[in-house]
Structure 1
Amino acid sequence: MKGYSKRTDSIQEYYFSQKLKEVNRLREEGKPIINMGIGSPDLPPHPSVVEALCRSSLLPTSHGYQGYQGTPALRSAYADFYSRHYGVSLNPESEILPLLGSKEGIMHISMTFLDEGDQVLVPNPGYPTYTSVTKMLLAEPIYYDLKPGNNWYPEFEELEKLNLAKVKLMWVNYPHMPTGAKADLEVFEKLIAFGRKYQIVIVNDNPYSFVLENEPKSIFQIEGAKEVALELNSLSKTSNMAGWRVGFVSGKSEWITAITKVKSNMDSGMFLGIQQGAIAAMNLGKEWYESLNEIYAQRRKLIWELAEKIALEYERDSAGMFVWAKLPKGKKSDELVDDLLYNKSIFVTPGHIFGTQGEGYIRFSLCVKEESIKEAIKRIS
């Protein structure tokens, strides 16, 4: 009656929420749209994950409110997962907080650390939610450019030239989305040193570390990282559980306690069956990730072929479930995206939605069956 919050003035509807309405409209009109825009796994979870959910759901005690911090078994499974795959020790009692997806964690962490007028270092290009959450909290995003000449890593000399007095958080994301730049321990070391020097909390958003990556990495592999950093992780991509909404934030107990204060006032815990499924997912062996990566590698080869048909450049040494492709000089990403959508019924993502450094690029998702990619290649040919 008296108007909306001023935070709604600074954000727009999420790009995919908006664009998919158009894609669905075209489908309703009979257009055979091939959706290569979104990183939503099309493959199912492992059967043991679904079985664990089903078994738990049949128990009469499974359907009430659950604890805000998840079950001890869930946190222990996550600690074991980090120990096995990253060689990192986490205390399941105090250094792990389960989340309803890691996207929720971006909001909770921001609400925990930021006040109006604080500043946040945001990668450009980078995940748009870092910006939108910052603006919703009336804080100010300060963009730091990632460039192909530096393998899409932060340029620390440029960062140190900034006035960092009001910066409280820095978002980083390796393996990087959308570019696919791999995680690098030397870069993590520099990030920890930078955060310590300027008293900035470094948050590594780490959902892609197993996708087309033989050596998963965590920022906590760096000595002293827990004094400076938090890490988000998720089962959405690695376990094909995007719709289950299972994520985690880990870090030192003082910070996890503070984040829990925020989270416990916003939800009432994760359904027990989903927690049981998540435990089963985190107990899977390396062969699970290897089998997924065989599929993604085959799809990526086909996407590379498609990119070449459109005269795009791409980097082969990358991780994650996307192909980041550069347009010919002078061509705009929206122009190519609309041409593919309206003339070839192929939906891809324009790079500019990830920041100004993404203009001149488009992003292909690997969450598309091989026969659909082959059909897309035919349409281009």
Structure 2
Amino acid sequence: MRIPTAKRLETIEEYYFSKKLREVRERVASGKPVLNMAIGSPDLNPPTEVIQAMQDAVLAEGTHKYQSYQGIPELRKAISDFYNAKYKVSLNPENEILPLMGSKEGIMHISLAYLNEGDEVLVPNPGYPTYTAVANLIGAKPVFYDLIENNNWEPDFHSLSKMDLSKVKVMWVNYPNMPTGASGSISLFKKLIDFAKKHSILLVNDNPYSFVLNDNPISILSIDGAKDVALELNSLSKTFNMAGWRVGMVSGSLDKIEAILKVKSNMDSGMFLGIQKGAVAALQIKDAWYDKMNLIYNERRELIWQLASLLGGSYDKKAKGMFVWVKLRDGINAVEFIDNILYQNDIFIAPGDIFGSNGKGYIRFSLCITKENIKEAIDRLKNKEVQLTNDLTMINQS
């Protein structure tokens, strides 16, 4: 017997990577040596101190009980100290920080706390698809604002000011940006804060890539008056190779954190204590950790640049974060292009189209793949360079 699903499911599709990875797994199961260069899931281990803290906590008395919805005080204090040390931002650990089971759940919690059915949400194009999916799921309307290469992948405030913003309640921003790698700046954050205040919009910066190949980490909360209108999401997933641990946080003023807590406390029963203890250890790690990780990512990025050049693509060497955003030759359909490479060369790359219409003609590489596998990808494409050139010509003409 088929039970009808909720109408909200008609507004979304299964996440691209969820669907595409099934196809990739089927190819691997059939014996194909697929190299996955699309997913931003760190392949390196967390710091040893993190693993040790987790192991120690597992055997401690009370570890396996329900935990506080707000996280243990030690974790909130560690987040506060981290923000002060790394961003020069002062946060009250008692009421301006809320640990999350990954920042992705924070997108849903914030949306449920602030959006009514019919409210509008400003979503970057290109941008993280979850912003759009969550808006649709709760009955809000995503309104896309353009990010384009010629404007350094930053909002065009002149164009935004001409829009009808009367129904807009929330604006999502993401710097350092995914997928483009645009770094953002103090100047940009000041403009965003001014814009949000002028139009009474809640501004949310999604900030998980601050410390990956970026010498100048910035928090939007470092701007004077930011807490009046802004929240910031952050995560341990990328910085400390803890994606599967699901540890994030949202920071902002007391009233905003209280509103989000009302939602969160009805959605889960607290984060496992062992994970919280590991998170504390991560947040207290020495600077040598960041240097080591960035050395590895820099070596990988240089090889990805070689691969991108082999494909005839162009890229910004000043971009930040865990991905390389590559512009293809004019007229090439990125979805067809990456499928062709997957089927011909067993290399999986993300097409820019999945991040929005302004991602058309781009592809995205992840740095979460070993140097050896990147070199293998380069060799595969070099060995089939004639076939690849012919395929590119056919795609360009289609």
Same-fold call, TM cutoff 0.5: yes
Write the letter of the residue equivalent to 1:80: D
Which residue matches 1:350? 351
Which residue matches 2:386? none
Given the alignment of the two structures, is residue 172 of structure 1 paired with residue 176 of structure 2, yes or no?
Answer: no
Which residue matches 2:366? 365
Write the letter of the residue equivalent to 2:9: T
Q: Which structure 2 residues correspond to residues 8-19 of structure 1 after superposition, within 5 A?
A: 8-19=9-20
Per the TM alignment, residue 183 of structure 1 is displaced from its structure 2 partner at its CA by 2.3
Q: Give the TM-score taking structure 2 as reference length.
A: 0.95
Contact residue 78 and residue 280 of structure 2 kept, 8 A? yes
Which residue matches 1:182? 183
Q: Which structure 2 residues correspond to residues 220-235 of structure 1 after superposition, within 5 A?
A: 220-235=221-236
Write the letter of the residue equivalent to 2:132: T
Q: Distance in 2 between matches of 1:354 and 1:172?
A: 14
Q: Which structure 2 residues correspond to residues 84-163 of structure 1 after superposition, within 5 A?
A: 84-163=85-164
Which residue matches 2:237? 236
Which residue matches 1:326? 327
Write the letter of the residue equivalent to 2:228: E
Given the alignment of the two structures, is residue 302 of structure 1 paired with residue 303 of structure 2, yes or no?
Answer: yes
Per the TM alignment, residue 60 of structure 1 is displaced from its structure 2 partner at its CA by 3.2
Q: Distance in 1 between matches of 2:9 and 2:288?
A: 45
Q: Distance in 1 between matches of 2:250 and 2:57?
A: 24
Write the letter of the residue equivalent to 1:378: D
Q: Secondary structure at the match of 1:308?
A: helix
Which residue matches 2:213? 212
Q: Secondary structure at the match of 1:248?
A: strand
Which residue matches 1:336? 337
Instruction: For residues 177-230 of structure 1, give each alpha carbon's deviation from its aligned partner in whole angstroms, at most 9, with x where no partner exists.
Output: 000000211000000000000000000000000000011100011100000100
Q: Distance in 1 between matches of 2:14 and 2:183?
A: 30
Q: Distance in 2 between matches of 1:362 and 1:249?
A: 30
Contact residue 208 and residue 236 of structure 2 kept, 8 A? yes
Q: Distance in 1 between matches of 2:184 and 2:287?
A: 19
Which residue matches 2:266? 265
Q: Secondary structure at the match of 1:120?
A: strand
Instruction: For residues 147-170 of structure 1, give each alpha carbon's deviation from its aligned partner in whole angstroms, at most 9, with x where no partner exists.
Output: 000100000000001000000000
Which residue matches 2:385? none
Write the letter of the residue equivalent to 2:343: Y
Per the TM alignment, residue 335 of structure 1 is displaced from its structure 2 partner at its CA by 1.4
Q: Secondary structure at the match of 1:17?
A: helix
Number of equivalenced pairs: 381
Which residue matches 1:25? 26
Q: Secondary structure at the match of 1:49?
A: helix
Which residue matches 1:285? 286
Write the letter of the residue equivalent to 2:92: N
Given the alignment of the two structures, is residue 40 of structure 1 paired with residue 33 of structure 2, yes or no?
Answer: no
Any unmatched runs of 5+ in structure 2?
383-398
Q: Distance in 2 between matches of 1:364 and 1:336?
A: 14
Q: Secondary structure at the match of 1:162?
A: coil
Which residue matches 1:4? 5
Q: Distance in 2 between matches of 1:286 and 1:214?
A: 12
Q: Distance in 1 between matches of 2:343 and 2:27?
A: 9
Instruction: For residues 275-310 of structure 1, give each alpha carbon's deviation from its aligned partner in whole angstroms, at most 9, with x where no partner exists.
Output: 000000000122111110000000000000000111
Q: Which structure 2 residues correspond to residues 49-64 of structure 1 after superposition, within 5 A?
A: 49-64=50-65
Q: Give the TM-score taking structure 1 as reference length.
A: 0.99
Q: Distance in 1 between matches of 2:204 and 2:84?
A: 20
Q: Distance in 2 between matches of 1:319 and 1:78?
A: 23
Write the letter of the residue equivalent to 1:85: K
Where does structure 1 differ by over 6 angstroms across 4 or more consecutive aligned residues? none
Contact residue 154 and residue 184 of structure 2 kept, 8 A? no
Any unmatched runs of 5+ in structure 1?
none
Write the letter of the residue equivalent to 1:289: Y
Which residue matches 2:76? 75
Write the letter of the residue equivalent to 1:177: M
Q: Secondary structure at the match of 1:61?
A: coil
Q: Secondary structure at the match of 1:164?
A: coil
Instruction: For residues 103-154 of structure 1, give each alpha carbon's deviation from its aligned partner in whole angstroms, at most 9, with x where no partner exists.
Output: 0000000000001000000000000000000000010000001000010000
Write the letter of the residue equivalent to 1:102: S
Q: Distance in 1 between matches of 2:125 and 2:366?
A: 19
Q: Secondary structure at the match of 2:62?
A: helix
Which residue matches 2:391? none
Q: Distance in 1 between matches of 2:49 and 2:111?
A: 35
Write the letter of the residue equivalent to 1:353: I
Per the TM alignment, residue 2 of structure 1 is displaced from its structure 2 partner at its CA by 5.6
Instruction: For residues 328-366 of structure 1, give each alpha carbon's deviation from its aligned partner in whole angstroms, at most 9, with x where no partner exists.
Output: 000000111111100000000000000000000000000
Which residue matches 2:392? none
